Amino acid sequence: MMNTTSYSSDAFLIEGGATLKGRVRVSGAKNASLPIIFSTILTKETCVIEDVPDLLDVKNACELIHLLGAEGDRLNGRVLIDPSGIDRYETPESIVKKMRASVLSMGPLLARFGRARVALPGGCSIGARPIDQHLKFFVSAGAQVLVKDGYVNIEVERKKPAEFEFELVTVTGTENALLYLSGVEGRSILKNIALEPEVIDLVEVLRKMGASIEIEGRTAVVEGSEELKGFHHRVIPDRIEAGTLMVASLLTGGEVELENVLPEHLGAVIGKLEEAGARVERLGADRLRVVKVGELKPLEIITEEYPGFPTDMQAQFMVMLSVTEGRSMIYESIFENRFQHVYELKKMGANIEVRGRSAHIEGVRELTGAEVISTDLRASASLVLAGLVARGTTVIRDIHHLDRGYERLEKKLRELGASVERLPSLVS
Ligand code: EPZ
């Protein structure tokens, strides 16, 4: 039997060793685009969203909005949605299984129709990812919530303002609640909310639609409205893509200049890069350059809710620390199983030991190219970084995970001098 390798999807082939140099534009933020696309359910007026990245998740979100009855189009980063025809309140399992962020349709559908029926999102490779906080919020808002046959059925007789405190900080839980309360007349209070820049970008859109939202600390006071308007909004830059490219520059000893980046969204990441010995030069309001000055230093990193160090940058830093002399430690406090990339990095020669939620890294002189498998979005980004800096050739299988969150990354990296190519799937 010939030993044929059949990829379940495209793969990347990377020749390590290039030094990245040049200028790259960071795309709009995926995790801001998704809730903003779902906010259009709250109005009957046309909405225009600019700088939306061309990603699988965005395509799925637009497909869902269309399935619910909206019209619109998506071209060159501009999404135009006419939601006046939305006449369904059900988000089918076929969509949710492709994109768990579809749960964000719950809040706006409940606000528009007084009911919503959304398939339960399963867990994923990084954790069980329950939505108990989302459902507790809706119950606190007076809704009936029934989970049956893999669907969440929510109904509210009469929409009324709510007061709710999250038991833990949840990004999409906060977004679901803000989306719902913006469509409810009266004064509501949300406590212990998430403050990620993507949440604040959604708040900006909800304010443009006519909701009044005041945030102080982790408390939001929302004055919603039944008559929310259409809006025109440019999505914030993707801070995680920016952070990923900054690590790529540092890892390869290059000098990459990033455009369309907001340093104020990357405080914890820039702080850790500078602690490792990098120089981050601000070249303008939304431009910066990362330069390696001397040998990198080992780090201790704990992932936390924003403004702490982002869990979505953990895998990328692990690659950098794998080839940084000395002992480093990363503690993953947000997700219970977000070290899948460790097993793949070890195939490339990394010296990492996982104990519970902490990964102990002993820097090695270099990584060696190997055939590795992507397991989730940010893990796949870390394997790309590892391939860039490894000696020899790296093949990364199941690269579709990367396509969910990075817009044409191989093109951006090639333009910076990397040797990256996409191998079409061997299985038609
Ligand atoms: C958002 O996921 C992001 N996704 C994730 O990005 C990101 O990693 C995560 O926030 C943390 O920053 C989108 O915005 C679409 P959470 P979300 O609810 O909202 C637990 C990427 O790489 N929890 O803040 O699902 C949960 O299990 C993705 O782009 C509950 O227990 O994350 C986790 O341990 C990956 N009950 C923690 O809270 C709940 O009801 C944080 O989850 C909700 C969450």
Identify the structural domains of the chain with CATH numbers, from first to last. 11-27+237-423 (3.65.10.10), 30-234 (3.65.10.10)
Q: List the residue whose alpha carbon is closest to atom 10 of ligand 1.
A: 171
Instruction: Give the mutation target among 171, 176, 195 for probing the ligand 1 site: most ligand atoms within 8 A of CB.
Output: 171
**Alpha carbon of 172 to ligand 1 centroid (Å):** 7
Per DSSP, 282 falls in state: E
Judge if the beta carbon of residue 174 lies within 6 A of ligand 1.
Answer: no
Quick check: helix, strand or coil at residue 313? helix
List of E strands, 201-343: 212-216, 219-224, 232-234, 255-259, 278-284, 287-292, 300-302, 327-331
**Alpha carbon of 1 to ligand 1 centroid (Å):** 44
**Alpha carbon of 192 to ligand 1 centroid (Å):** 15
Quick check: helix, strand or coil at residue 176? helix
**Alpha carbon of 170 to ligand 1 centroid (Å):** 6
**Alpha carbon of 77 to ligand 1 centroid (Å):** 25
**Which residues make Cβ contacts (< 8 Å) with residue 133, sequence separation at least 6?**
166, 167, 168, 170, 173
Q: List the residue whose alpha carbon is closest to atom 35 of ligand 1.
A: 312
Instruction: Give the mutation target among 105, 137, 170 for probing the ligand 1 site: most ligand atoms within 8 A of CB.
Output: 170
* Token duo for residue 164: 């709710």
Residue holding tokens 């006519």?
210
pLDDT reported for residue 4: 43
Q: Quick one: which of 380, 338, 345, 340 has its CA closest to 362?
A: 345
Instruction: Give the mutation target among 27, 30, 31 for probing the ligand 1 site: most ligand atoms within 8 A of CB.
Output: 31
Judge if the beta carbon of residue 192 lies within 6 A of ligand 1.
Answer: no
Judge if the beta carbon of residue 113 lies within 6 A of ligand 1.
Answer: no
Q: Quick one: which of 149, 141, 139, 86 has its CA closest to 113?
A: 86
Q: Write the DSSP assignment of 73-140 as a string of letters.
A: EEETTEEEEEGGG----EE-HHHHTT-GGGGGGHHHHHHHHSEEEEEPP--BTTB----HHHHHHHHH
Residue spans of the chain under pLDDT 70: 1-9, 426-428
pLDDT reported for residue 2: 39
Do residues 193 and 220 make contact, with C-beta atoms less than 8 angstroms apart?
A: yes
Q: Write the DSSP assignment of 38-50 as a string of letters.
A: HHGGGBSS-EEEE
**Alpha carbon of 171 to ligand 1 centroid (Å):** 6
Q: List the residue whose alpha carbon is closest to atom 41 of ligand 1.
A: 170
- Residues tagged active-site: 124
* Token duo for residue 210: 């006519």
Distance of alpha carbon 212 from alpha carbon 210, whole angstroms: 6
Judge if the beta carbon of residue 281 lies within 6 A of ligand 1.
Answer: no
pLDDT reported for residue 427: 59
Q: pTM for the complete prediction?
A: 0.96
Q: List the residue whose alpha carbon is closest to atom 43 of ligand 1.
A: 131
Quote the radius of gyration of the chain (alpha carbons, Å): 22
Judge if the beta carbon of residue 424 lies within 6 A of ligand 1.
Answer: no
